[in-house]
Amino acid sequence: MIFGTIAGTVVSTKRSDHIRGAKYLLIETCTCRGKGKGTYLVVLDTLGAGEGELVILSQGSSARQTEISKNKPVDAIVVGIVDVVDEQGKVVFRK
């Protein structure tokens, strides 16, 4: 899984995914502390994440393991919205 922060939204009126009401986000991959890495992904959001939030992403075939994305052409999906990251006993991120 990958950490990312929401950088914006992606709007596409013509898609081949056939997911009704799909919301796509522009995500910058980042460290567990929320520091951006400068690489971006377009990600399906089924949890209602908001701009600037730290999220957990699943990518590749694992992204197609949810009820919504099963057997769909999805490569990355938000699987969690992060509240706290504890690294070796120290809180390094808090929402």
DSSP 72: S
Residue-level pLDDT at 67: 86
Q: What domain range is 87 assigned to?
A: 2-94
Give the residue from 39, 7, 12 showing the smallest Cα distance to 26: 7
The pLDDT, as a whole number, for residue 68 is: 87
pLDDT at 30: 97
- Predicted confidence at residue 15, as pLDDT, reads 84
Give the single-character DSSP code of 23.
Answer: E
The pLDDT assigned to 50 comes to 92
- Find out whether 50 and 78 touch, Cβ atoms under 8 Å: no
What local confidence, expressed as pLDDT, does residue 13 receive? 82
Number of domains observed in the structure of the chain: 1
41: domain CATH number is 2.40.50.220
Give which of 1, 87, 12, 95 is closest to 50, Cα–Cα: 95
pLDDT of residue 71: 87
Residues of the chain with pLDDT under 70: none
